[in-house]
Every structure is written in structure tokens, then in C-alpha cells.
Chains A and B, each alone.
Chain A
Amino acid sequence: MPRDTTYGRYGRRRLLKGSAALGAAALAGCIGTGDREDGDESTDVMADEIGGWGWDVAARSLQLTADEYEAENDATVEIEEFGREAMKEDLQTRLSSGTGAPDLAMLEMVDGPAYIETGAIHEISDRIDDAGVYDDFVEGAWASLSDGDDIYALPWDIGPTAVYYRRDVYDEHGLEPDAIETWDDFMAEGEKLPDDVDMLNLPMNDLDGVWRYQFRQLGNQPFTEDGAVNIGNDDSVMIAETVKELYDRGLAATLDGWSSAWFGAYEEGTVASLPSAAWMEGTLRDELSDTAGDWGVYRIPAHEEGGSRASNWGGSSLMIPEQVESAKRNRAWDYIEWSLATEDMQLLMYDEYGLFPALETTYDADVFDEELDFFGGQAARRVFADVAEEMPSYGFSADTPEVTSAINSEFQAMINDDKDPEDAVADAAQTVADRTDRDLA
């Protein structure tokens, strides 16, 4: 029996029919490659339902504003809560595959430029212009959310930096927070502590964080305007020397940040000071509730007398992925503007979850002058608000991970292997230059 001819013919016939249909579709202008023309971009139709992603307390505070938003508007906002790493990984994959991303998501300042550079984020400059809210936010928050004049996300919270200190430990050993203006003063006061108490911690897993807040404090940028690597400059050397001196004089513990040993040290008061950001308040309250009333806050020390004592550590924003269709984009922006650019909502999130507003117009609110029991009656939030208005802006970039890992690696060598601070900083700069194909400044 002949085996295959009939089936083959059916196959061919079907194929011919199929290609004829495709050809007709092509003639009618509804098949092609490249950019499909999307007709509805200009309309201001808003979707009834959107979904957003965030992690931990950020997600929970979005849930707060989502509830309020739903009560005022005829729309549903679904917030999904993730762990930090889980969300970052999932989001990155979905952004880069061009499909499956949420209608809005939180974006850490430090990740801003890397995400923006991949073209996965929807540009919102015009929307911000139309809403007229640009000047309402702290100036220093915009840099990492922009590419030139184009803005891609709305600032949410920031991390104005100050030194948290254990009031009871300082009192016991006669340390004077008011006497501390420079790092030299800080070290001099620290010398009053006994051997088993350290003045501060230099987290071995986050030495780049230590470097970055001081580098920013001094008004530096990691890369110059024309893209050269700037992390080897004199300020950077000065910071490295400060860090090394803190360590060499036996004033610093070297516990990994957020480890149980780290929490334990602050609970027992074996480390007396914690330079960190405004958002640390929530963590301290949650994790070390037994120490309530024993804390205080002062501005970070300057490197030279009269120098800047303001910086920033961390912060985040909300963005809309480029792949989201326009009706959902419109709704997402409406919700974002409502959550982040109105004082009520920002203060609600600050009050409930300690997310320090990037919205400068909120700083007149009473909540900043409240004398807090946790800080022994100090109006600690005013310190942070003052810092926020002075903090220099800082240009994160897609090459930030290279800077982070080079600085961390060299600072570890400086502390563990006694490497010379000047060499450490120079080597870090050289590494970044090699790895990113840039020149040294």
C-alpha cells in the first residue's frame, strides 16, 4: 500500500490556503514587524483596575493609600506584597521580557538609572509638568530618577542621614553629643568609652554604604559630567582615611549589618552610635522595643570644621513599566500622584510605617516637631527634615554596582589586610574604569 502521498497533499493544500490567508492579511495592512501603531496613546481613558508591587512595609503603606484611593474613586488598586529580593528578581525578569509586569511598582533610588537605561520604564515628565508637582519634592531626590531632562519615576521616601546614639551609654561614660561637630570630635568622644564598648559599627558587608553617604555629604558624584570615574578623588581618600582611623583606633565594631549579632550589640549597648537614615527609626522601634527612650539623634559629623553635615542613604520611588497599556498607565499615574504628591497620604505612610517623605511640603507638619518618647523626648524627626532640605543630590548610574563592589572590596582589604587608604581608593577607581571602559577623572 502506498504510504504517504495523500497526507502530504493535504498538508500542502492546507499550507497553501494558510499562506493565502496570511497574504491577504498582509495586504490589508494588519501584519508586519517592528512597532505596531497603538492608536489610544493620546486618550485619557482610565482603567478601572490596576495592580501594583512593593515589598515589606512599603507594600503595606501602599495598601493604606490604595484603600483611601478606592474610597474616593471608582477604581480598584490591588497591591501585592513581596520580599525585597523576590520582587526585584521577578520584576527585572518581567521588565526585560517585555511582558507580565505590574501596572506600577516601587523602584529604589539606587536601581533607578539601571532600570531606566534598559528602556523598560515609562517616561512621566509631561505628567509631572501637568500636575505641577516638581518643586514640591526635595531637589536631591530627582537625580537618580531622571535621564537628562526626562523623568521616569515619582520620588516616594528618602533617607536623610544622621547618627542615632544610645543616650544612656553616652551619659554613662560622659560623652557629649553636642561636642561632636567633626569626625575628629567624634573619635575624641569615642575614646571615653571602655574597651568593651565600640563607638560605632563599620558593617563589613556594607562598607560601600558607609563610603557613599560620606562621599555624597561632601557633594561628590561618582562620575564626572563627561563620564569619567571620580571615586578616586581627594575627598574619597579622606573618607577612606577616616574609616581606617576609626578602625585602627579600636573605635569600630565590624558586624555585618542586620545580622543578629548586630541587633544584639545595639540592644545591649556594646555599640553606642549608628550612623543611618531616617527609615531606621521604624526598624529600631520594631526590633529593639526594649531600648525605647534610650535613643537620641544628631547630625553626622563633618570632615572639616564648618563642613556639610547632611547626606542621604537609600530611598525609593514609584514607576510605571513601559509595557503597560495606556488606560492602565493613566490610572496608575493618577493613583501614584494621589499617593505621593499629596501631603495627607505621605504623612499617613510616614506615621504608620516610618517612610520619610520626599515631599518637602510636608515638613511643616506637626508630626516633625513631636517630641518622641522613643528618643527620650527629642523631636528627632525635625533633625531629619532639616537634613533632607540640605542633602546634596547624587547621580546613581547603571554602573553603580561596579562602584559598590569595587569600594566594598578595597575597603575590606584596607581593614583586613591593612592596605593603605590612598592605594585602596586609587585601585577601586582603576577597577571601575577598567570594567566600565571609562577614563579616570
Chain B
Amino acid sequence: MTPATATRRRLWDRFRFARQGLSDRLPRLPSVAYLFISPFFVLFGLFLLFPILYTVYLSFFEYQGVSFDSLLWIDLGPILIDVPRVAELEFVGLGNYARILNDGLFWDAMYNTTYILAIQVPIMIGLALALALALNASFVRFKGVFRTAIALPVSANIVAYSTIFLLLFNEFGLINSLLVALGLEEIQWFRSAFWARNTIIAAVTWRWTGYNMIILLAGLQNIPQQLYEAAEIDGASRWQKFRYVTVPQLKPVLLFVVVLSTIGTFKLFAEPYVITGGGPSNATITIVQYIYKEAFDSWNLGYASALTVVFVTIVSAISIVQVRIGGED
């Protein structure tokens, strides 16, 4: 051992002793661990738990206006602590929920959202699966290029791409110009309920297909090759391999994609908000858009909260059903 190494070792030992001494002097409480993870719980409580509980609370009230009363104030001369009460609320019990039952616009929004969901999600997932299978096949070239190109729309800003769709499909947009150039009739995309809804579907599908494809592709690549080899030895055809190997193996990933897309479509807001504004005659207004309208156009904060609670309940119920069905073998 050279002197230099010895010195280094001595220094290192002293450091270790010092560190150990410090840790002996620190309080040994289980609470210290909680102290370290508390920032998460504080933030979670403040920004997630509290808003959720407050929404449920608000749903039993009618918003009357701003309150300038204080919940608590402490005047210590130079220091004044004042916790303002934000809103003037009137308790209405289940009144807001009862109102939902007879609210035509809520049911319109429900219908629109369900319609978009029922058409859009199957189309999108079918498309994503087909693309994933194609891009997973051994004979396709330039896979990287295709994958990137198809997955790229998901990085587009939601309002920006909605605006592009608005420009494409408006009365004098590119699509109508093309139709006319081909000798066809112009279509009033935003003037008929049917076309307006399908324009929204097209926009959403364009943006999210690539995203779902990437997830499915990852799932496909996780399927062990031995299964296919074994199937081949048993003389399985291409279709049989797909039906009896790929699909069962991919099931958890497919389920994940379906549940995610369902929730995503239920939450649809920006596209109809920008492209059709909910029109014509409320034919494309979605539930979230309706909640927004109630809360921030009409200031019915209590009613909007009740709508939110109902909405979350419906989405949760559907997701649970999907997981149950998907989970059975």
C-alpha cells in the first residue's frame, strides 16, 4: 500500500464515520420517510383530490355569485391572514341531478358522443391493427419511415390540426374545390348534421390511429416467435396463426387500446369546439363541450359539476364493463 493510497483510505474512513455519526443523530422516526414523500401527497391532495371532492360537493349546490365573506381571518396588526370564501352557494340537494333527466341538450350531447364513439373507435382500432400488422410483416421495407409518418399526427397541436380540418372542409375549402374539379357536387360539410359528425370522426381518426398503431405494434413484437413456429409445425395457415396466436396474445394490449380510445372519445372537446362549434343545431356538441358551456358560458357551476359527476360515472361504468368482458377467457 503506497502512502498516497493510505492517506486516501484514511480520509475516506473519516468521511464514512462522519456520515454514520450524522445518521445516528438524525431522528429515527417512521415519519421521516413520509416527510420525504409528502410533496407528492400534498400536490396530489391539492390539485387532484380536492378538486374531485369539491366537484362532488358543488353538484349539490347552485352557484349564486362571488362571496366577499371570509372563511377565516386573523388580524395581527401588521400581518393579516385572510382565507376568502370563494362562492355564494345555495343548497339544492339532488335538484341538479333531477334536472339532468329532463335536459334535452344533455341527451343530445350523449347521443352525439355515443354516435361518434360507436363509429369512430371500431374504425380507428381496425385501421390501427391493420397498419400494425402490415408494418410488422417481415417483407415490408422502409418500416421506420412508415411508422414515423403514421405516428406523426399525434404530435400535432390539437387546436392547430382542428383548424386545418376546418379550412379543408369549409364551404370554399380544398375538399370542396377537389369535388368540384372532379365534376361532383359541393358538400356542405358543416351544414348537415350527418356530414358534420363524420368530419369530426375523420379528424379524430386521423390524429389517433398512429398512436394506437404504435401500442399495438409493441404488443405484436412481444409475442414469442416460438408460438408461430409451433403453429407452423402443426400446419396452421396464415389466418389460423392470426386467429389462434396473434389475437389471444394481443388481447390485453387490444383491451388497453379499446378502453383508452373509449375514454378519449368520451372526452372529445377541442375538435368539435374548433371545427363545428357544436353545430349545426347542436348536432355535434359533445358532453364535455356541454359541461364547459354550462360552467363557463352560463355560470351554472353547480349544474356543470353534477353533469361532470354523471359523466365520470358513465365513463367508469363503461370502462369496467369493457375490462370485465375483455378479461374473460
A interface residues (Cβ-Cβ under 8 A, vs B): 1, 3-4, 7, 22, 25, 30-36, 89, 92, 95-99, 114, 117-120, 204-205, 254-256, 259, 261, 322-323, 398-399, 401-402, 405, 408-410, 412-413, 416-417, 431, 434-435
B279 near A409 (CB under 8 angstroms)?
yes
The smallest C-beta distance from A75 to any residue of chain B, in angstroms, reads 25
Q: Are A30 and B71 in contact (CB under 8 A)?
A: no
B302 to chain A, nearest CB (A): 13
Contact A120 B66 (CB under 8 A): yes
In contact, A434 and B88 (Cβ under 8 angstroms)? no
Chain A residues with CB below 8 A from B74, complex form: 22, 25, 30-31
Which of A4, A33, A398, A413 lies in contact with B280, CB distance below 8 A? Answer: A413
Q: A417 CA to B279 CA in the complex, in Å?
A: 13
Contact across chains for B72 and A33 when beta carbons are under 8 A apart: yes
Q: How many residues of B contact A (CB 8 A)?
A: 44
Chain A residues contacting B282 (CB-CB under 8 Å) are 409
Q: Select B66's contact among A118, A401, A413, beta carbons within 8 Å.
A: A118
Q: Which of B139-147, B216-224, B293-301 lies on the face that meets chain A?
A: B293-301
User: In the complex, are the beta carbons of B66 and A96 less than 8 A apart?
Assistant: yes
Contact A25:B76 (CB < 8 A) given known A33-B69, A98-B86, A120-B66:
yes
Question: What are the 5 closest A-B residue pairs judged by CB atoms, nearest first?
Answer: A30-B75, A119-B65, A118-B65, A413-B281, A120-B66
User: Do A261 and B88 contact each other (CB < 8 Å), given the known contacts A412-B280, A413-B280?
Assistant: no
Pairs across A and B, CB under 8 Å, 28 listed: A3-B28, A3-B29, A7-B29, A25-B74, A25-B75, A30-B76, A31-B74, A32-B72, A33-B69, A33-B72, A33-B73, A35-B68, A35-B69, A95-B66, A98-B66, A98-B84, A118-B65, A119-B65, A119-B67, A119-B68, A204-B190, A205-B277, A261-B170, A409-B279, A409-B282, A416-B281, A435-B103, A435-B105
B102 partner residues in chain A, CB cutoff 8 A? 434
**When A1-B28, A3-B28, A413-B280 are in contact, do A97 and B86 touch as well, CB less than 8 Å?**
yes
* A residues in contact with B75, CB < 8 Å: 25, 30-31, 36
Q: Is the CB of B70 within 8 A of A35?
A: yes
Contact B65 A417 (CB under 8 A): no
Within 8 Å of chain A (Cβ to Cβ): is B232? Answer: no
Contact B73 A36 (CB under 8 A): yes
- Bitwise, B156-189 to A at CB < 8 A (1) or not (0) is 0000000000000011100000000000000010
Chain A residues contacting B27 (CB-CB under 8 Å) are 7
Per the bound structure, the CA–CA distance linking A254 and B77 in Å amounts to 64
A22-B74, A33-B72 known; A412+B84 contact, CB < 8 A: no
Contact with A along B33-62 (1 / 0, CB 8 A): 000000000000000000000000000000
Cα A33 to Cα B191 with chains together (Å): 55
- B residues sitting closer than 8 Å to A (CB atoms) are 27-29, 31, 64-77, 82, 84, 86-88, 102-105, 170-172, 188, 190-192, 277, 279-282, 293, 296-299
Residues of B within 8 A of A30 (CB): 74-77
B30 → chain A closest CB, angstroms: 8
Task: Contact check, B281 vs A323: say whether CB atoms are below 8 A apart.
Answer: no
Contacts of B170 in A (CB 8 A): 256, 259, 261
Q: Are B29 and A417 in contact (CB under 8 A)?
A: no
Given contacts A7-B29, A120-B65, contact A412 B73 (CB under 8 A): no
Hey, which chain B residues are within 8 Å of A96, CB to CB? 66, 86-87
A397 to chain B, nearest CB (A): 12
Whether A4 lies near B88 (C-beta < 8 A) is no
A residues near B29, Cβ cutoff 8 Å: 3-4, 7
Q: A119-B88, A259-B170, A434-B102 provided; 8 other pairs, C-beta below 8 A?
A: A31-B74, A36-B75, A95-B66, A97-B86, A204-B280, A255-B171, A322-B66, A431-B104
Measured in the bound complex, the distance between the Cα atoms of B82 and A33 in whole Å is: 9
How far is the CB of B253 from the nearest CB of chain A, in Å? 39
Residues of chain B within 8 A of A261, CB atoms compared: 170-172
The answer on a CB contact under 8 Å between B86 and A416 is no
Complex CA–CA separation, A413 to B280 (angstroms): 7
A35: chain B residues at CB < 8 Å are 68-70
CB distance from B78 to the nearest CB of A (A): 12
Within 8 Å CB of A95, what residues of B? 66
Docked complex Cα distance between A99 and B68 (Å)? 10
Chain B residue nearest to A120 (CB atoms) is B66
Please name the residue on chain B nearest to A118 by beta carbon: B65
Bound: A98/B280 CA distance, A: 37
Chain B residue at minimal CB-CB distance from A256: B170
What is the minimal beta-carbon distance from B66 to any residue of chain A, in angstroms?
A: 4
**With known contacts A33-B69, A120-B66, A99–B192 Cβ distance under 8 A:** no
Chain B residues within an 8 Å CB radius of A402: 298
Closest CB-CB distance, B218 to chain A, in whole Å?
39
Cβ contact within 8 Å between B298 and A119: no
Beyond A409-B281, A413-B280, whether A31 also contacts B73 by CB under 8 A is yes
Write the chain A residue with the least CB distance to B74: A31
* Shortest Cβ distance from residue A20 to the other chain B in the assembled complex, whole angstroms: 14
- Chain B residue nearest to A321 in the complex (CB): B66
Q: Please pick, from B77, B279, B280, B299, the residue contacting A118 in the complex, using a CB distance under 8 A.
A: B299
